Amino acid sequence: MTGFIKLIYGDQEFKLPVFEGSEGEKAIDISRLREITGLITLDPGYANTGSCASDITFMDGEKGILRYRGIPVEELAEKATFKETAYLLINGRLPNRDELTSFSVLLNDNSLVHEDLRVFYESFPRSSHPMGILSSMVNALRSFYPELQDLEEEINMTVTRLLSKIRTLAAMSYKISRGHKVVYPRPDLAYCANFLNMMFDSPVKPYEIDEDVVNALRVFWILHADHEQNCSTSAVRLVGSARVTLYAAISAGIAALWGPLHGGANQAVIEMLSDIAENKNMARVVERAKDKKDPFRLMGFGHRVYKTYDPRAKIMKKMCDSLLNKLKISDPLLDIAEELEALALKDDYFIEHNLYPNVDFYSGIVLRAIGIPANMFTVMFAIGRLPGWIAQWKESMDDPNWKLGRPRQIYTGPTQTKLVPIDRR
Ligand code: CMC
C-alpha cells in the first residue's frame, strides 16, 4: 500500500487505499468499496480495472515494453527456446540444465494422444474451423485422463500433458481435415521441429526440417507466450475461478482467442491483405476503417494497452523479413502490408487514435512462409499462448485472496411490472 485516495460522495468522505506494483503502476483498491459506500464501479470492457495482482508479465503500453518474469521479450526471442520460455512463465524462473532435461523427457513421454480421440475428429464436418475443434478436443481430453485425484499431482501432470498434446492435437486436426495420414510425434525432435514434422511430413514426401523455419516458429511462439490479462487469459482465469478443471479453463481460453478482435485477427489480416491484392482497394480499406458508420476495422492495427508500436510486432517484422529472405520467398502480401502500414502511419486518424501495427499484422506472412494454412493461424497463436494461460491459471489457483469471479452490474431495465395474461398482450 502506498497511500490513500479520498472519495467524496454527497456529504460523506471515504478513504480508499492505493496499491503499488513493482514497476510503479498504481491502483485504487476498491475491494471494500461497496461495503463502505454502497457503490460499485462501472467500467465497460474493464479498461480501467485491474482484475488481479500478478507476478508473471509486465507490459508498458506507452513505452512498448513486454517482459516475462522480468526478462524482456526481445532477449527471450533472441536467446531462449520456447520450452524454456514456457518453463519460465509457469515456474517463475528459467530451468537449469537438469530441470530442462526432465521437462523435455516429460513432454516427450506425454506427446501421444489416445487413439480413440481420432473418432472425434472424424465426426466434425470437414469444413469445421480448427479453433472450434481444438477447444472441443482440449475439453474432451479430461474424459481420457480422469485418473489422478491428488490436486498437486493432477496440476503438474495436466500442465505437461496439455503443453505436449496440444501440438499433437493441432497437427492431427490439420491432417485429418485434409484426409491425410496422421503423423506421430518423434522422440528425437525438439518441441518446434516436432510440431512442424507432424504437420508436414507425408509418406510420399518426407518433411525436411529447415532450421530457419524452426527458428521462426520458436520466435513466433515466444512472442505469443503471454500477454497479461487479455481477453482469453481473463476467460481462463474467470472460468477457472469456478474451480473447473484446467482442461475446461483452457478450452474457454481457446474459444475466446478465436474472436477476430483477439487472436483471430491474424487470419483476418491475411484475408484483408488478400482482398487488397485482388481488388486493388487499399485506399478504400483505409477509408472504411476510419468511417464510424462502418464496423470494419484495419485488422492487425490497434491495441487496448499499446499506444505505441507493439514490441512484438517489431520483432515479428524483422523476423518476417529475414525468413522470407533466407527462404527466397517473395510474398506480394508483404509488399501490401508494408504499403498499408506506411499509409496508415501517416494518416491523421491513425496518428490521433495511436493506432500502430500489433503482433498480428506481420505474423500471418511468417506463418504463410512456414506453410501454415490461414485457418490454422489462430491455432498457432493458441499453442504459443498455452504456457501463459497455464501460468495465469496456476497463479490464480495459488492466490490466498482467491475469489469466484463474479462481476456486478447496474440494472437499467424495467422496474417491477405485472405479467399480462396471453390473451391481453
Ligand atoms: N481500425 C480503425 N479504428 C480503430 C482500430 C482499427 N484497427 N482500432 C481501434 N480503432 C479506433 C476505434 O474505432 C475507436 O475510435 P473512436 O474513439 O473514434 O470511437 C478508438 O480507436 C478506440 O478503439 P476501442 O475499440 O475503444 O479500443 P480498444 O482498446 O477496445 O481496441 C482492439 C483494441 C484490438 C479491439 C482494436 O484496436 C481493434 O479492433 N483492432 C483490430 C483487431 C486486431 O488487430 N486485433 C488484434 C489485437 S493484438 C493481438 C491480441 O492480443 O489478440
From 355, 363, 389, the mutation candidate for ligand 1 (largest count of ligand atoms within 8 A of CB) is 355
% helix, strand, coil for the chain, step of 5:
55, 10, 40
Q: How far apart are CA 122 and CA 133, in angstroms?
A: 11
* pLDDT band (50, 70, 90) for residue 144: confident
Q: Using alpha carbons, select from 410, 32, 59, 397 the residue that is nearest to residue 239.
A: 397
Model confidence at 42: pLDDT above 90: yes
What pLDDT, on a 0 to 100 scale, did the predictor assign at position 418? 97
Q: How far apart are CA 276 and CA 285, in angstroms?
A: 8
Whether the CB of 88 sits within 6 Å of ligand 1: no
Amino acid identity, residue 254? I
Least confident range from 147-156, 209-218, 296-305, 376-385: namely 147-156
Model confidence at 397: pLDDT above 70: yes
Model confidence at 148: pLDDT above 70: no
Q: Using alpha carbons, select from 328, 342, 388 the residue that is nearest to residue 76.
A: 388
Cell of 341: 502500414
Cell of 246: 484446467
Model confidence at 12: pLDDT above 60: yes
| Residue with the three cell numbers 478443471 | 245
Q: How far apart are CA 30 and CA 49, in angstroms?
A: 10
| Residue with the three cell numbers 478436443 | 137
Mean pLDDT value of segment 146-152: 64
Query: Got the DSSP string for 93-154?
Result: S---HHHHHHHHHHHHHT----TTHHHHHHHS-TT--HHHHHHHHHHHHHHH-----SHHHH
115, burial (CB in 10 Å: exposed 0-12, middle 13-18, buried 19+): exposed
Q: Which CATH class is domain 3-60?
A: mainly beta
The pairing of beta strand 65-68 with beta strand 26-28: unpaired
Cell of 12: 460523506
User: What 8-state DSSP symbol labels residue 202?
Assistant: B
What is the per-residue pLDDT across 156-192, written as a single tens digit (0 to 9) for each?
Answer: 888 999 999 999 999 998 998 888 999 999 999 999 9
What pLDDT, on a 0 to 100 scale, did the predictor assign at position 365? 97
- Taking the CA of residue 302 as reference, the ligand 1 atom at the shortest distance is 37
Model confidence at 41: pLDDT above 60: yes
Cβ atoms 337, 273 nearer than 8 A = yes
Least confident range from 77-86, 154-163, 280-289: namely 154-163
Model confidence at 69: pLDDT above 70: yes
What is the H or E stretch that residue 213 is in? helix 211-224
Amino acid identity, residue 195? F
Least confident range from 133-147, 158-172, 373-387: namely 133-147
Exactly one of 303, 348, 353, 398 is catalytic; which is it?
Answer: 303
Query: Got the DSSP string for 380-393?
Result: HHHHHHHHHHHHHH
Model confidence at 150: pLDDT above 70: no
Which residue lies with its CA nearest to atom 28 of ligand 1?
304
Q: How far is the CA of 109 from the centre of ligand 1 (A)?
A: 42
Cell of 343: 499509409
Partners of residue 28 on adjacent β-strands: 18
Mean pLDDT value of segment 145-159: 72
Whether the CB of 216 sits within 6 Å of ligand 1: no
Q: Give the count of alpha carbons within 13 A of 308, CB side only.
A: 10
Cell of 322: 529475414
Whether the CB of 262 sits within 6 Å of ligand 1: yes
Cell of 146: 480422469
Q: Using alpha carbons, select from 230, 265, 221 the residue that is nearest to residue 374.
A: 265
Q: How far apart are CA 257 and CA 263, in angstroms?
A: 5
What is the H or E stretch that residue 68 is in? strand 65-68
pTM over 0.85: yes
The pairing of beta strand 12-20 with beta strand 4-9: antiparallel
Partners of residue 12 on adjacent β-strands: 9
Q: How far apart are CA 132 and CA 354, in angstroms?
A: 33
b vs e for 384-422, b when ≥16 Cβ sit within 10 Å of the residue's Cβ? bbbbbbbbbbbbbbeeeeeeebeeeeeeeeeeeeeeeee
Q: How far apart are CA 109 and CA 103, in angstroms?
A: 10
Amino acid identity, residue 292? K
Whether the CB of 265 sits within 6 Å of ligand 1: yes
Least confident range from 39-48, 153-162, 363-372, 409-418: namely 153-162
From 234, 291, 303, 351, the mutation candidate for ligand 1 (largest count of ligand atoms within 8 A of CB) is 303
Give the residue extent of every domain in the chain.
3-60, 68-261, 265-370
Q: Which CATH superfamily is domain 265-370 in?
A: Cytochrome P450-Terp, domain 2 (1.10.230.10)
Sheet bearing 4-9, strands edge to edge: 4-9, 12-20, 26-28
Model confidence at 14: pLDDT above 80: yes
- Between the alpha carbon of residue 192 and those of residues 73, 80, 129, 222, the distances in Å are 18, 13, 23, 11
Amino acid identity, residue 140? A
Cβ atoms 380, 372 nearer than 8 A = yes
Query: What SS3 state is found at 66?
Result: strand
Least confident range from 118-122, 263-267, 293-297, 411-415: namely 118-122
Q: Can 348 be counted among the known catalytic residues?
A: no
User: What is the overall mean pLDDT for the chain?
Assistant: 94
**Correct CATH for 68-261 of 1.10.3720.10, 1.10.580.10, 3.40.250.10, 3.90.1300.10:** 1.10.580.10
The dihedrals phi and psi of 406, each to the nearest 5 degrees, come to -160, 85
- Reported for 253-256, long-range contacts at CB under 8 A and 24+ positions apart, including other chains, are 253/382, 253/385, 253/389, 254/131, 254/134, 254/135, 254/138, 254/382, 255/131, 255/132, 255/135, 256/231, 256/232
Whether the CB of 301 sits within 6 Å of ligand 1: yes
